[in-house]
Amino acid sequence: MAQLQRLAVTAAQISANKIDLTKEQQHYLNRVLRLQAGDRFIAMDGCGHWWSAILEVQETGLFASITEEIAVNRELPVAVTLIAALPKGNGFDEVVRQAAELGVASIVPVTSDRTLLKPSTQKVDRWRRIAAEAAEQSERQIVPTVYEPLSFDLAVKDCCQKYRYICVARGDNRHLWDCLAGLESPQIPLLRGEKEPDELSTVIAGLEPPQPPFLTGEEEPESIAIAVGPEGGWTDGEVERAIEFGFEPVSLGRRILRAVTAPMVALSLVGAAFEKYPSQKISP
């Protein structure tokens, strides 16, 4: 199935083993990907389900029929939330794209003391589209949640991830890799698990949207939050406030990284640490 094209759909589009394709999706499949009636592709709902689907034609346009569910395991064995200060210009587009490719579960854009960008609703919608496209391209099971921008203070105050780190460019702090090496990777079962073919209709009928892994009001087990700053880094006051709410200051190395580079380094370290030993467990 790896060679098939992938398309992100919503639970509301699926009914009775059929996918009601939007006009944009019909255009993308038929005009951009050049798929014809009878061609197969992979539909993903962004909540953990993958299906093999066949493109079909009806009087009102194209639709897709689901033939079977595909059991895959593409996700990190730990839920990672990226809390990222907004860089200037369109730099956050690339942060979202690459973070999605690297397996992040959710992205929280924050405004900080040194943030210049004031994002519009259109910006947030764009980031969510980018996350969906990146999830399709990288063959992920879920589409990362991109939240509305928050103030830094609210983001750290309401963060409920079990392990919390704030990346600081200067100072004598532990390297993030050393912190992650002290944790052990959990064995988390496939999202939505493997399903027998005769369970397919039940699965589709019972689809639920993913539960947000951020701001849920209680600590999330086996989860990590990483806060990465803007151009110029976090202020001393911001670092102190983060520490008050359980964040550990960490280093990403001896060099000073750009605001759009630091998130990629941090998430790459998480992937390297947790995907190397998938059979281990996080210690209580």
Token reading at 217: 């009001």
Average pLDDT, the chain: 83
Phi, psi dihedrals of residue 282, rounded to the nearest 5°: -75, 135
CB 55 within 8 A of CB 13: no
* pLDDT (mean) for 103-114: 94
Q: Tokens 């199935």 correspond to what residue?
A: 1
Q: Tokens 């806060």 correspond to what residue?
A: 227
Task: Label residue 243 exposed, middle or buried (CB < 10 Å: 0-12, 13-18, 19+).
Answer: middle
The answer to whether residue 234 scores a pLDDT higher than 90 is yes
**Cα of 208 vs its chain's centroid, Å:** 17
The per-residue pLDDT for range 33-62, each reduced to its tens digit, is 889 999 999 888 877 778 899 999 988 889
Spatial strand order of the sheet with 40-44 comes to: 6-8, 40-44, 50-58, 61-69, 18-19, 14-15
The answer to whether residue 147 scores a pLDDT higher than 90 is yes
Reported as a pLDDT band with limits 50, 70 and 90, residue 276 is: low
Reported as a pLDDT band with limits 50, 70 and 90, residue 241 is: very high
* pLDDT (mean) for 93-98: 97
Token reading at 178: 């050393």
How many Å apart are CA 272 and CA 269, to the nearest integer?
5
The answer to whether residue 144 scores a pLDDT higher than 80 is yes
Query: What pLDDT sits at residue 85?
Result: 96
* pLDDT (mean) for 91-100: 96
Residue type, 225: A
Q: Tokens 């210049």 correspond to what residue?
A: 116
Query: What pLDDT sits at residue 236?
Result: 95
Question: Where would I find the beta strands (DSSP E) of the chain?
Answer: 6-8, 14-15, 18-19, 40-44, 50-58, 61-69, 79-85, 106-111, 145-146, 150-151, 161-167, 174-175, 220-228, 248-251
Query: What pLDDT sits at residue 5?
Result: 85
Query: What pLDDT sits at residue 20?
Result: 92
| Count of alpha carbons within 13 angstroms of residue 88, beta-carbon side | 6
Reported as a pLDDT band with limits 50, 70 and 90, residue 212 is: very low
Query: What pLDDT sits at residue 6?
Result: 82
The per-residue pLDDT for range 73-88, each reduced to its tens digit, is 778 889 999 999 999 8
Share of the chain above pLDDT 90, in %: 52
How many Å apart are CA 247 and CA 165, to the nearest integer?
5
Query: pTM of the full predicted structure?
Result: 0.72
